[in-house]
């Protein structure tokens, strides 16, 4: 009898978060339990897809499932800053919103760190969106006017989750982006 655990169909389905090293570099292994959809303009985000930095310059449209009395935290980091070969700023925080009601989008939550789009300088960077379900309403600090990279550098998703009594993520997605050569840049 054949072992079903080693079937070709099973081998073909490997979690893209594992393949992209999001699980390991940013978060621990988890089971997604809340549907999350992310869209940059007309482009739906799928794990591991490439998004050109100009397309992701503005905050994405995000829809979080869940009940209205559920609360969520959404964050976005770049674990490859400033360079994938030497990620000395790991993780660079690009966005942080807390107290987002279930069934809503981040605009209904409290923005702690405003969105900043991808700005990769060298190599292909991963941009990771992680969603946590909160146990209770967070006392969010006032929005930070953190504009410089130094203020956003060395963020740690795991430490943030621990500090704010968040368990494992309930959803995560990531995309890749790289700097376009000056002669190839397009804003469409």
pLDDT of residue 180: 80
Domains and CATH numbers, the chain: 34-176 (3.90.280.10)
Rounded-to-integer distance, Cα 68 and Cα 88, Å: 39
Q: Calculate Rg over the CA atoms of the chain.
A: 17
**Is the separation of the CB atoms in 103 and 65 below 8 Å?**
yes
How high is the pLDDT of residue 187?
54
pLDDT recorded at residue 140: 77
- Per-block mean pLDDT, blocks of 10 residues, the chain (188 long): 43 78 96 96 96 96 95 98 94 96 95 94 97 93 64 93 95 95 59
Query: Strand 92-101 and strand 171-178: pairing?
Result: unpaired
- Whole-number Cα distances in Å, 34 to 53, 54, 109, 169: 27, 29, 17, 9
Q: How much is the pLDDT for 145?
A: 56
pLDDT value of position 13: 56
What residues form DSSP beta bridges with 61? 39
The pLDDT, as a whole number, for residue 128 is 98
Single pTM value for the model: 0.87
Write phi, then psi, for 69 (nearest 5 degrees).
-90, 0
Of 163, 169, 176, nearest in space to 112 by CA: 163
Give, in order, the Cα–Cα distances in Å from 39 to each of 2, 80, 90, 136, 174: 42, 22, 25, 28, 12
Does residue 164 come out as left (phi exceeding 0), alpha (psi in the -120 to 50 range) or beta? alpha
pLDDT of residue 146: 52
């Amino acid at each position: 009898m054949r072992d079903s655990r080693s079937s070709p169909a099973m081998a073909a389905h490997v979690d893209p978060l594992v393949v992209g090293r999001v699980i390991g570099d940013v978060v621990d292994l988890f089971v997604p339990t809340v549907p999350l959809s992310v869209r940059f303009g007309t482009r739906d985000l799928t794990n591991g897809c490439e998004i050109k930095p100009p397309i992701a310059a503005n905050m994405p449209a995000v829809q979080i499932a869940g009940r209205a009395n559920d609360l969520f935290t959404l964050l976005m980091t770049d674990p490859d800053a400033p360079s994938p070969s030497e990620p000395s700023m790991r993780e660079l925080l690009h966005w942080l919103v807390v107290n987002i009601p279930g069934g809503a989008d981040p605009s209904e939550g409290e923005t702690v760190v405003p969105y900043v789009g991808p700005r990769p300088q060298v190599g292909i960077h991963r941009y990771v969106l992680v969603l946590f379900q909160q146990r209770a309403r967070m006392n969010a600090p006032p929005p930070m006017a953190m504009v410089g990279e130094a203020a956003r550098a060395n963020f740690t998703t795991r430490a943030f989750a621990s500090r704010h009594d968040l368990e494992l993520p309930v959803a995560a997605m990531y995309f890749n982006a790289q700097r376009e050569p000056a002669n190839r840049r397009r804003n469409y």
